[in-house]
Amino acid sequence: MNKDVFKTLIKEGQEEIQDVELIRRRFEFEEQGRYVLVGVRQAGKSYLLYQRAKMMLESGHDISEIVYINFDDERLLGMTAEDFDLILQAYSTMYDGKPILFFDEIQNIEGWEHFARRLANQKYMVFITGSNAKMLSRDIATVLGARFFDEKVFPYSFREFLDANNITLKPDWEHSRQRNEVQRFFAEYFRWGGFPELFLYRNKRHWLNGLYEKIILGDVILRNNIKNDHALRLAVKRLAENVKQPLAYNRLANLVKSTGVSTNTASIIDYVRYVKEACLMFTLDNYASKFVEKETIKKHYFVDNGLLSIFLNDADTSLLENLCAIVLYKRYNRGDDSPRLYYYNRNIEVDFYIPDEHIAIQASYDITDEATRNREVNALVQLNALEPLQQALIITFDQEEIIEKDGLTINVVPAWKWV
């Protein structure tokens, strides 16, 4: 590495920030905060950096203060942590003063956290993104101390999806023609998810397949030096097919082996960890299970409905539960070390349970069938008898009513309204 490379990148980054057209996301930055933003590729992390940079320009900062560098750039191949200081040296040959630093996909450079800590100690404003959940791990948090806010970034929420389509909800939208418009957009969001760049493409499945390949190859297989990539791919496919069911790691290993592909439970545990680290999936624990079961039997969800939909044909019930999981996970789970969201499975099966707030939620695409209706309602009633609930919901695709049973009020809410 040499300073001239970074001088070029600094200039290019300033031009990019000035030229980019933004759809502002619903994300509030602390005025004096430094941030580590982590999420799956293409979730919109870079645009949040652009958004923050433009906010600073609007507040009176000059473009010469901005340093934006994307560490996915092929000109930085071979860069090591020792080269980080060249960025500051390059800047000092171009401008006076202290830059505001925006570092994209910094996880590509091992040891980045030590440089980030030094910058914070020296009172630089720093904003960092990455596509690996290990960036939020306890070890890295210990290095960074309390110097950074860490945030998980997901693809668009449905409200952001409406923003991106220039849809502003009126106060009475549920009771006007706009309701039909919202439902129409929700059907697209439900099927194809909320990746911002997906708006540009007509063939959404093709784009999502390409994104999945980039994640699975670059962020999972190559990063973790996986030799048996066929077993990994089959494991992810089986997770998609069983997204609504608790799945033990040994059961998942047997599902893969049943296709004639060699693997074992230890490898499967590693594969699931790698996929979670790539922010492709997240897991929920069973609130009712003992420690060993919590660690070995989990529910597995995809971070975006579009990534799940490419695996499935008749996917409506799976997509509904996956979408509910995403919304609730964003709301309640800061991370695997401090979960607030669970599922409940011990003689009673309830899809989502938030014990802190005494909330239980079932995801059921359609409860017109009497057997389905009774199953969903009775599970909530039985859970209420064990763990008194303050709120009980059944999220459907398009049904709405209030059910009273055994002293429990259950609100049935259509997903397009709930999200």
pLDDT in tens, 354-402: 999 999 999 999 999 999 999 999 999 999 999 999 999 999 999 999 9
State the amino acid at position 34 in one-letter form: R
Q: What integer is the mean pLDDT of 212-226?
A: 95
pLDDT score at 211: 97
Of 7-16, 29-38, 140-149, least confident by mean pLDDT is 140-149
Q: What integer is the mean pLDDT of 348-356?
A: 97
Q: What integer is the mean pLDDT of 126-148?
A: 90
- Residue 215 DSSP one-character state: I
Helix axes 249-257, 265-277, angle to 10 degrees: 110
Closest CA relative to residue 286, chosen from 343, 366, 338, 225: 343
Q: What integer is the mean pLDDT of 273-277?
A: 96
Query: How does strand 281-284 pair with strand 297-302?
Result: antiparallel
What is the C-alpha separation between 379 and 397, in angstroms, rounded? Answer: 19
Reported confidence tier of residue 151, pLDDT bands at 50, 70, 90: very high
Q: What integer is the mean pLDDT of 227-249?
A: 96
- CATH 3.40.50.300 residue ranges in the chain? 3-153
CB atoms within 10 A of CB 103: 25
Q: Decide: helix, strand or coil at residue 130.
A: strand
pLDDT in tens, 226-236: 999 999 999 99
Is residue 147 a contact partner of residue 117, using CB atoms and an 8 Å limit?
A: yes
pTM: 0.93
pLDDT at 336 over 80: no
Q: What integer is the mean pLDDT of 314-334?
A: 93
Measure CA of the first residue to CA of the last residue in the chain; give whole Å: 47
The label of the residue with tokens 């980019």 reads: 20
Query: Of all residues in the chain, what percent carry a pLDDT higher than 70?
Result: 99
pLDDT score at 314: 79
Reported confidence tier of residue 25, pLDDT bands at 50, 70, 90: very high
List the CATH code of the domain at 3-153. 3.40.50.300
Average pLDDT of the chain is: 94
Q: What are phi and psi of 184, to 5 degrees?
A: -65, -45
